[in-house]
Copies of this chain bind each other. A is one copy, B any other.
Amino acid sequence: MNFGSDNVVGASPRILEALARANAGAAAGYGNDTIAARVTEHLKAIFERDLSVFLVTTGTAANALSLAALTPPWGSVLCHVEAHVNQDECGAPEFFSGGAKLVGLPGLCGKMTPAAVADYIAEASHAPPPHAVKPAALSLTQATEVGTVYTPAEIAELSEIAHRHGLGVHMDGARFANALVRLGVSPAEITWKAGVDILSFGGTKNGCLAVEAIIVFDPARADHLAERRKRAGHLLSKGRFLSAQLDAYLADDHWLDLARHANAMADRLAEGLVARGIRLGLPVQGNEIFAILPAGLHAALKETGFVYYEWPTASLPPEAAPRTGEVVVRLVTSFATTEAEVDQLLGEVARRS
């Protein structure tokens, strides 16, 4: 039973089948295949506007390329201190941008507050150029690193502050679909309509093998992303194998179905834990559950073979903080998680509590 991450599972069968279908015959290389063109058109329809698309294989590449397009080397990127771009990409944004500075802002529930962003920008404005780096981009994670979700209004407020001070807005959407179906809004409403300039549109965690789309809503921001991608070794020669994944992912709302299932499994698991007396550290808004487990229960579950991680985080509200003898753990569900798996974990919890 593996609740360790949404990347320990494979790909959705429909997506694998699409890959096989795409295999036949000759196709133009380097992203110039006909499936790629269809994917772009589909994304335009989904997001209800013109846009540019650049496919890559990892979220790290999508994020780092996006941020490099938004900040000069002498700029800074504001993000939540626990953001993937700040903590888990081995400095990829710094590498791709030529040495920009990431500024990790605190915030409960994995979310930056308008006050924290505005205060930081105000403080930075006191350092006259060229002595300090200049805030150049704001990066939001949707859903956040701790599985919470920014509302359209929250995104709009943060973007408005950013734009007012000349910052571009990036959204790390590695779990975009999970956030979207939870909010029940349109893709446009939590992206460009709320001020997002570039979106890392995730596929891998939600059922693809390895594909993310950099979606640039403002075409002026797309300048040179083709060169940046190639130069970073992220332009696949047999590009059809990326586009085919996204093609199947988007077809018939498959991506939304996959996310709905992962979220439903998260809800089932969260509700089951609460029913068995386990406290949650954070609201479950995507496909991640942060639970506070008694250390004994935790040890027993690990021993039984359940896979998941201890996950200390400063994002917990004070009232949710673990007490002595408790640990914070992260449980992640995916498109492939089954009710049986969830129930097996819940059963074990019941037995051990």
Contacts and interface: CB of A to CB of B under 8 A. Distances in A.
Interface of A: 2, 4-5, 7-11, 13, 16, 19-20, 22-30, 56-62, 64-65, 72-74, 87-92, 94-102, 123, 126-127, 129-134, 204-205, 209-210, 224, 226-238, 240-241, 307, 312
- Interface majority SS (helix, strand, loop, mixed), chain A: loop
Given A10-B23, A91-B231, A99-B99, 16 more contacts: A10-B240, A13-B23, A16-B19, A26-B307, A56-B233, A57-B57, A60-B235, A62-B233, A73-B91, A73-B98, A74-B227, A87-B132, A90-B230, A94-B100, A134-B227, A232-B233
Contacts of A90: 74, 129-133, 227, 230-231
Contacts of A57: 57, 210, 233-234, 236
B64 A7 contact: no
Nearest to A9: B26
Nearest to A5: B29
Given A10-B238, A73-B231, A235-B130, A95 B88 contact: no
Nearest to A134: B227
10 contacts: A10-B238, A19-B19, A59-B237, A61-B233, A61-B234, A62-B233, A74-B224, A74-B231, A87-B127, A98-B99
A99 B88 contact: no
B230 A131 contact: yes
- 4 interchain residue pairs of minimum CB distance: A61-B233, A10-B23, A94-B99, A7-B237
B238 A7 contact: yes
Contact of A11 (B23, B101, B131, B232): B23
Contacts of A64: 233
Contacts of A234: 57-58, 61, 233-234
A307 to B, nearest CB: 8
Contact of A58 (B9, B10, B236): B236
Contacts of A96: 233
Q: Which of A9, A30, A226, A238 has the most CB of B within 10 A?
A: A238
A24 B216 CA distance: 34
Given A94-B94, A233-B58, A233-B64, A88 B131 contact: yes
A243 to B, nearest CB: 12
A309 B133 CA distance: 20
Contacts of A99: 91, 94-95, 97-99
A23 B130 CA distance: 25
Contacts of A240: 10
A7 B65 CA distance: 25
Nearest to A314: B123
A244 B224 CA distance: 33
B29 A23 contact: no
A119 to B, nearest CB: 12
Nearest to A93: B99
A317 to B, nearest CB: 20
A256 B235 CA distance: 26
Contacts of A241: 10-11, 209-210
Contacts of A233: 56-58, 60-62, 64-65, 89, 92, 96, 232, 234
